[in-house]
């Protein structure tokens, strides 16, 4: 089921995603801005908001994967696509969200246990514009905490990359979808290195352009998850179901 693809595919995923984006640029920007607005609104809810965000993120991404498939199939997409995951395979998508939630709690807990106070000092110094005042030992401990957290988050990110698409488009159970997602990332490690390097460079450019840049980068990032999924898991373009 999983294909090993050439190194250069990491770049082609981005090119193919941009081609899909151009077909329906306005609605894709609207969809992703609504998603970001929902995420921002949830983070403003004390305590529970962030947990709810982790749970529903795979549901929203699954809806966007269905929108990407329909764009690919030449169909019109609409705002309702974003919420398809609430109607189709919702229990499995919530299970993916639950793993994402627990994983992030574990990663954050490890980072705080290794250097919580040091991280606070570094963040405060950076916010105050005085990073040079941070003691070297404090900076080293904070850096170690960040590196360990990043190493722990990487397999979680790999599990989340294709899981929404696999659950939504292939009807694969949550745990199997996450396992396949990790396997696909490991099998295609080199293309993903190229992909990550290019998308990181584009993110730096997007941040420099502030809102306009983010409005283009976010849908492109989501569509690359679809084009990579399509390339690795299926040589054929999935056929969208008939419009309701």
* DSSP label of 96: H
pLDDT in tens, 171-200: 999 999 999 999 999 999 999 999 999 999
Supply the Cα-derived Rg of the chain in whole angstroms.
19
Q: What is the rounded average pLDDT for all residues in the chain? A: 90
d(CA 146, CA 152): 10
The share of the chain scoring above pLDDT 90, in percent, equals 73
Q: Map residue 24 onto helix, strand or coil.
A: coil
Judge if pTM exceeds 0.85.
yes
Q: Tell me if 138 sits within 8 A of 122, measured CB to CB.
A: yes
At 84, is the pLDDT very low, low, confident or very high (cuts 50, 70, 90)?
very high
pLDDT in tens, 231-241: 999 754 444 45
Q: Mean pLDDT lowest for which of 17-31, 95-109, 131-145, 211-225?
A: 131-145
Q: Is the pLDDT of residue 208 over 70?
A: yes
Task: Report how far apart, in Å, the C-alpha atoms of 47 and of each of 43, 109, 110, 119 are.
Answer: 9, 16, 19, 21
Q: Is the pLDDT of residue 213 over 80?
A: yes
Say what the pLDDT of residue 131 is: 67
| Stronger pLDDT, 88 or 120, i.e. the higher one | 88
* Stretch 215-229: mean pLDDT: 96
Task: Report how far apart, in Å, the C-alpha atoms of 94 and of each of 123, 173, 180, 192, 210 are.
Answer: 33, 11, 17, 26, 32
Say what the pLDDT of residue 138 is: 73
At 132, is the pLDDT very low, low, confident or very high (cuts 50, 70, 90)?
low
Q: Tell me if 54 sits within 8 A of 100, measured CB to CB.
A: yes
Q: Is the pLDDT of residue 244 over 50?
A: no
Q: Is the pLDDT of residue 75 over 90?
A: yes
| Stronger pLDDT, 137 or 104, i.e. the higher one | 104
């Amino acid at each position: 089921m999983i294909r090993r693809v050439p190194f250069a595919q990491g770049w082609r995923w981005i090119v193919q995603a941009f081609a899909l984006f151009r077909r329906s640029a306005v609605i894709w920007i609207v969809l992703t801005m609504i998603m970001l607005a929902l995420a921002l609104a949830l983070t403003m809810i004390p305590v529970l908001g962030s947990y709810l965000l982790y749970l529903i993120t795979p549901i929203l991404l699954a809806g966007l994967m269905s929108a990407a498939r329909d764009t690919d199939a030449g169909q019109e997409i609409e705002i309702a696509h974003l919420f398809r995951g609430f109607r189709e395979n919702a229990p499995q998508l919530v299970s993916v969200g639950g793993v994402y939630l627990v994983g992030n709690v574990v990663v954050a807990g490890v980072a705080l246990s290794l250097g919580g106070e040091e991280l606070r000092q570094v963040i405060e110094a950076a916010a105050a514009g005085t990073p040079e005042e941070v003691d070297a030992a404090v900076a080293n401990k904070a850096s170690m905490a960040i590196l360990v957290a990043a190493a722990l988050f990487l397999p979680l990110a790999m599990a989340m990359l294709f899981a929404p698409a696999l659950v939504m488009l292939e009807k694969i159970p949550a745990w199997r979808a996450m396992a396949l997602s990790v396997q696909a990332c490991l099998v295609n490690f080199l293309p993903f290195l190229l992909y990550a390097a290019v998308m990181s460079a584009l993110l730096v450019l997007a941040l420099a352009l502030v809102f306009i840049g983010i409005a283009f980068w976010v849908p492109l990032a989501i569509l690359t998850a679809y084009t990579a999924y399509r390339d690795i898991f299926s040589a054929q373009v999935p056929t969208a179901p008939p419009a309701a």
